[in-house]
Chain A
């Protein structure tokens, strides 16, 4: 009877037939718990090594920067310039503090998403990675809010549609605040996971005829979706942070 549902069957028996699951490579015990080193860790390490290598090369090039830039110096300057214009354009002048952080996050998410093209399992298709990114955003939002507002203003904002002596709306506002990291991380995770899943199913079912034409789908799911999602994550982080920072420093 369960032959009608091959996907379900394979997952309930072995789970290894369609290669999109996170696989454990190596386990160790710590404080009585079993931890696993998975493919996500390995892929994230590879992505980090690529980024660190790029950063070191860029640093060496910029240290002896020339008046007429060479190819690599041109590329580095283009990337830094574009990101800085994007961030300052979205967050205003006082957003210059965040240029380093947002650029790092953007490059990391972009390289992670695109790494599916090179046979890795994208680290952002693991909820652990994206939840960590979402939580960092959450803490930045609230640090900026506490730093830039008085406690009374934060309380007024929590009960915002109603007057501050009537705190009926507070639980709903708190849920709304807590939904920010969840929705940010789930959006990134589910987008990348859907790409990984569709490609894995396609290769599992259509292996004999999957010649050259899946590259179009790879271009859509890995390159286009990956770039869009990295952009969306950064734009939303910047918007939330800008809202939390408030307007009263603008003058």
Chain B
């Protein structure tokens, strides 16, 4: 089986896209921490449920941004034609 340079480029861009998706790890941990603390806060003071939920969703959406940068890198690697 002959492996040419363009095959290697395609293969490594797919690998790189997979590795870039590891950005989701940090965002997942951050969102989990936010949700956990929100659950604790609501457990302590159920009256503040509305406020806590709004703040939690906002914080989670911002924590998600880093994962989305990883997604963008993966998309660029997959869909922008690497061979010109």
Q: Does B75 reach chain A (CB closer than 8 Å)?
A: yes
Return the chain A residue nearest B82 by Cβ. A12
How many residues in A have their beta carbons less than 8 Å from beta carbons of B?
23
Given A7-B78, A12-B10, A187-B64, 9 additional A-B pairs, CB 8 A = A1-B7, A11-B78, A11-B79, A15-B79, A186-B65, A187-B61, A187-B68, A191-B68, A197-B75
**Shortest distance in angstroms between B10's beta carbon and chain A's nearest beta carbon?**
6
Q: Does B35 reach chain A (CB closer than 8 Å)?
A: no
Q: Is the contact region of chain B dominated by helix, strand, or loop, or is it mixed? A: helix
Contact of A5 among B10, B57, B64, B81 (CB under 8 A): B10
Give residues in B with beta carbon < 8 Å to A: 1, 3, 7, 10-11, 13-14, 57-58, 61-62, 64-65, 68-69, 71-72, 75, 78-79, 81-83
**Shortest distance in angstroms between A239's beta carbon and chain B's nearest beta carbon?**
10
A94 to B1, CA, bound (A): 71
A186 to B14, CA, bound (A): 22
Give residues in A with beta carbon < 8 Å to B: 1-2, 5, 7-8, 11-12, 15, 21, 183, 186-187, 190-191, 193-194, 197, 228-229, 231-232, 235-236
Give every chain B residue within 8 A of A7 (Cβ-Cβ).
78-79
A231 to B61, CA, bound (A): 10
CB of B10 within 8 A of CB of A186, answer no
Give every chain A residue within 8 A of B72 (Cβ-Cβ).
186, 190
Give every chain B residue within 8 A of A232 (Cβ-Cβ).
58, 61-62
A sample of 8 cross-chain residue pairs with beta-carbon separation below 8 angstroms, ordered by A number, consists of A1-B1, A5-B10, A5-B11, A12-B10, A190-B65, A190-B71, A191-B64, A197-B75
Give every chain B residue within 8 A of A8 (Cβ-Cβ).
10, 13-14, 78
A194 to B67, CA, bound (A): 11
